[in-house]
Amino acid sequence: MIKFQKKVLKNGLRVILAPMENTEAATFMTLVGVGSRYETKNISGISHFLEHMFFKGTKSRPKLGQVHQDLDKIGATHNAFTSKETTGFWVKSSAKDFGVGLDIVSDILLEPLFKKEEIEKERGVILQEISMYEDEPRRKVWEVLENVLYGDNPIGWDIAGEKESVNKIRRKNILDYRTKNYLSKNMIVVAAGNIDVEKVFGEIEKRFNKIGKGKNKPAKKIKIAQKSARVKVINKDSDQAHLALAFRAYNMFDEKRYALNLLAVMLGGNASSRLFMEIREKLGLAYYVFAFGDQCTDCGYLGMGAGVAHDKVEETLKKMGEISRLLKRRGISKNELKFAKSFLRGQMSLALETSDDIASFCANQELFYNKVLQPEKVLERIEKISQNDILKVAKEAFNPNRMSVAIIGKHEDFAKKEKFYKSLIYKQF
């Protein structure tokens, strides 16, 4: 059980304090309820751009690299991230240096300089980051897939944006975006680890009461008018083809998500799963093959992925279809379900082992559910899932009319291949 206290500042900002025993480390995290799906086309990528700019100098740390130097001086692990629906900043340090991490995160969020010359330099960095992702087809194929799945909607756009939109972002856009979205009621602050609760809360209160009061506007809701399978094939001179599939499924508030995530474990969540055993172990088609459940606030999907030889895409799709049909028609055994539940219990224990794990778990729970649901309660819901629940979800999810596919590899005739794979999907799934 996670020991924690929740406090709310006068401006509405929520603070979670999670003291931990038997550790010499502590993590400070701030999670903001804004990400790339809050953007408009002309400023696509600005959430990610802003995340970068927070580290480029503050009023009290104005010199180039000073923020990173102060963190490196104490041997802290630190990072920031942008997703479709959140932006986060965290520092993990020794407990005795925790105050430094807290001071720096509050400093970059409250007193950033956003110098014009630094914006221009960082624009170049981000453009190179986008180019790097283009050269990583294993990663890029999932960006393509979500664009196929969600269409021309903010949640279907690349988080880093397009080079064209990143080139258009100006300092005024960054300042306006921060003012409208970095507000007290859509921000969570978490301190976890070897901390003095009262002392830490006093420091947080002193600094974060300065955050602007209010809440940002909600993101545009997704509307998917999908009537048939969607396929996107991209030609790339790569050593292997990368295949990504998604079946539209449930959002993060749907109770059926628990059954879906268990189904994903049995399908391709570990080295004992059906996809791994059939596609890698028995047929030797892929080095990596997996499945997972992905949930956002108003949408979600069951995904499958694999990297295979260019001439093995068809065989791999057929085998994925065969495995999915079997799950859809016959369901799973009692032992298989028991095995999957045991796997998730173990994974959850490992995922909540350290202060940064605890901080991330608490922040996301509070941001999206307005409460921290104890891991034991999550496991209780998972334990209640029956074989019939899994079968119902499989029958609902494995529908070719809910399916999207993205493939990056060597293809000479895109249109012909897309038509061929689409026909194959209806025969297999």
CB 407 within 8 A of CB 141: yes
Tokens of 58: 């503050």
pLDDT digits (tens, 9 = 90+) for 306-361: 999 999 999 999 999 999 999 999 999 999 999 999 999 999 999 999 999 999 99
Backbone angles phi and psi of 403, in degrees to 5 = -105, 140
Q: Report the DSSP pairing between strands 14-19 and 187-193.
A: parallel
Cα–Cα–Cα angle for 183, 184, 188, rounded to 5 degrees: 110
The confidence score (pLDDT) of residue 352 equals: 95
> Rounded CA gap, 275 and 282, in Å?
10
Tracing tokens 């409208």 back to the chain, one arrives at 180
Element (H, E) at 384: none
Give, as one character, the DSSP assignment of residue 112: B
> Rounded CA gap, 304 and 313, in Å?
13
Q: Do 230-428 and 5-208 fall under one CATH topology?
A: yes
Alpha helices in 157-213 (DSSP H): 163-168, 171-181, 197-208
CB 31 within 8 A of CB 78: no
Task: Confirm whether pTM is higher than 0.85.
Answer: yes
CATH level 3 topology of 5-208: Cytochrome Bc1 Complex; Chain A, domain 1 (3.30.830)
In one letter, which amino acid is 402? R
> Rounded CA gap, 175 and 184, in Å?
17
The confidence score (pLDDT) of residue 414 equals: 72
The confidence score (pLDDT) of residue 417 equals: 87
> Rounded CA gap, 162 and 160, in Å?
7
Tokens of 98: 């925790």
The confidence score (pLDDT) of residue 361 equals: 97
pLDDT digits (tens, 9 = 90+) for 56-80: 999 999 999 999 999 999 999 999 9
Domain 230-428 has CATH 3.20.20.150: no
CB 406 within 8 A of CB 144: yes
All structural domains of the chain with their residue ranges: 5-208, 230-428
> Rounded CA gap, 363 and 359, in Å?
6
The confidence score (pLDDT) of residue 1 equals: 85
Per-residue pLDDT of the chain (429 residues; tens, 9 = 90+): 899 999 999 999 999 999 999 999 999 999 999 999 999 999 999 999 999 999 999 999 999 999 999 999 999 999 999 999 999 999 999 999 999 999 999 999 999 999 999 999 999 999 999 999 999 999 999 999 999 999 999 999 999 999 999 999 999 999 999 999 999 999 999 999 999 999 999 999 999 999 999 999 999 899 888 999 999 999 999 999 999 999 999 999 999 999 999 999 999 999 999 999 999 999 999 999 999 999 999 999 999 999 999 999 999 999 999 999 999 999 999 999 999 999 999 999 999 999 999 999 999 999 999 999 999 999 999 999 999 999 999 999 999 999 999 999 988 777 788 999 999 999 999
> Rounded CA gap, 185 and 212, in Å?
9
